[in-house]
Amino acid sequence: MAPGPICAAAQCSFDDPEPGHVPRPSGLVGAVATCEAGDMVNEVVDITEKLSLFSEHWSPKVVARLNDYEIKVVKVKGEFVWHTHDDTDELFLVVAGELSIQLRDGDVRLSAGQLFVVPRGVEHCPVADGEVHALLIEPTGVVNTGDAGGALTAAYDDSLA
C-alpha cells in the first residue's frame, strides 16, 4: 500500500503516524483530511451520554480510538442490508435492546451486555424489532455497509470523539 497523504500540520502520514497523533479519515477509505495530536488525558467516555446526543439509526459515531481501531456507538432499528467485510472482523456489543445478527447459517441474538464478533468475510445483516443501542469495535475506516454500499452507507462521523 502506498504511503497515505501527509498531514501538513503534523508532518505525519496516515500509514505511519507520529507517536501521539491520530489519523483522521475524511470518510473515504484510505483518504485523510487532517491529523491531530491525540488528546487522551483523563477523558472518560460515557457510552450512555454519547448515545443520548443523537437519534438517527444506522449511523455509527466514533467515541474513542484504540491503536488502529475505533470504538463506535450506534442506534439501530429495523433491518440493515446484507453485507461482508472482506478485510476485517467486526464486534457488536449490545448496550440496550435486543439485536439479531442474521448470518447465512443461522441467526445470533444479543441482549444488553452480550457481544458477538462477525468474522471477516462472513456475510451478515443486523436486524432489530425495537431500537437497539450498540457499541462497535473495528479498524479505522471500515464502512458500515461493507461491500454492499447503498442508501444505508453512513458518512464517517467522529464528531463525538
* Closest CA relative to residue 91, chosen from 120, 123, 64, 132: 120
Residue 83 CB, nearest distance to Ni ion (Å)? Answer: 6
CA dist list (Å): 21 to 17, 24, 28, 161: 6, 9, 19, 14
**Taking CB positions, which residue lies at the least distance from Ni ion?**
90
Phi, psi of 45 (to 5 degrees): -100, 115
Residue number with CB closer to Ni ion (18 or 147): 147
Applying CB under 5 A, the site for Ni ion has a residue count of 1
Find the part of the chain contacting Ni ion (CB under 5 A) among 36-44, 48-56, 82-90, 94-102. Answer: 82-90
Give the footprint of Ni ion on residues 84-103 (CB under 5 A): 90
3 state SS for 80-113: CCCECCCCCCEEEEEEECCEEEEECCCCEEECCC
Residue number with CB closer to Ni ion (70 or 90): 90
CA dist list (Å): 48 to 13, 25, 138, 159: 33, 25, 20, 16
Residue number with CB closer to Ni ion (36 or 56): 56
Residue 69 CB, nearest distance to Ni ion (Å)? Answer: 15
**Separation of alpha carbons 75 and 51, rounded Å:** 8
Residue 159 CB, nearest distance to Ni ion (Å)? Answer: 21
Q: Which amino acid is at 35?
A: C
Residue number with CB closer to Ni ion (7 or 75): 75
Residue number with CB closer to Ni ion (40 or 117): 117
Residue 13 CB, nearest distance to Ni ion (Å)? Answer: 27
Instruction: Write out the residues near Ni ion by the rule CB under 5 A.
Output: 90
